[in-house]
A and B are shown apart, each in its own frame.
Chain A
Amino acid sequence: SQQGEEDPQALSIQEGENATMNCSYKTSINNLQWYRQNSGRGLVHLILIRSNEREKHSGRLRVTLDTSKKSSSLLITASRAADTASYFCATRGSNYKLTFGKGTLLTVNP
């Protein structure tokens, strides 16, 4: 089964609103990463949070990690139409592998 599971599967909001996506995983991790995929394109790395970190910021992105609950959240503040994409969490365990969830499709309406 997938290591990372995003929730919700789809999210539709208005421009300017905040978008929150969640990711749950099953086994211990080394780090957790979030990627964005625009339609018809490859995945783009957004942000990485290590297992010993609880929160990280990058521009309008805020990621939290709760290893006790095996969950992470990605917050996009002041969303824009250009943020419309699928967002994936990926977990890295003790080896090289990244295991991706099935993603959250975010639609930001202008």
Chain B
Amino acid sequence: DAGVIQSPRHEVTEMGQEVTLRCKPISGHNSLFWYRQTMMRGLELLIYFNNNVPIDDSGMPEDRFSAKMPNASFSTLKIQPSEPRDSAVYFCASSLAYLGTGTGRNEQYFGPGTRLTVT
């Protein structure tokens, strides 16, 4: 398996522009996570999908951020309009997750990330 695939790997854009980040999870995984990583705040969970349905978007910082998962093999994270403070590395991760209690594993597999720079 190719692992989690993200595109683009690098994105430089001007403030106010729309940015779309893409993710292809590992085939067979039923959970997908979008994270943002900065030096100041570390790794933050933005949104979580299970079976293509958004379960928790409480980490999405503002209405400027939106995410979709139209099918099991594709997800997008969109920022519109982008701002300089959105500059960060955005990671997508997938897992074969089991909701609810129990001692399930739920280890996550991360993509290589998209480094976003908003000027």
Contacts and interface: CB of A to CB of B under 8 A. Distances in A.
B66 interface: no
A31 B103 CA distance: 7
Interface in A58-84: none
Interface residues of A, number: 26
B106 to A, nearest CB: 6
Contacts of B113: 41-42
A45 B101 contact: no
A96 B106 contact: yes
Contact of A102 (B42, B55, B97, B104): B42
Contacts of A100: 42-43
Interface of A: 2, 30-31, 33, 35, 41-45, 48, 50-52, 88, 92, 94-103
Interface residues of B, number: 27
A44 B97 contact: no
Contacts of A50: 103
Nearest to B112: A42
**8 closest residue pairs by CB, A with B:** A42-B110, A102-B42, A100-B43, A45-B107, A43-B110, A50-B103, A42-B112, A94-B101
A33 B104 CA distance: 12
Nearest to B40: A102
19 contacts: A30-B101, A30-B102, A33-B107, A42-B110, A42-B112, A43-B93, A45-B107, A45-B109, A88-B43, A92-B106, A95-B100, A96-B31, A96-B48, A96-B55, A96-B99, A97-B45, A98-B45, A98-B106, A100-B42
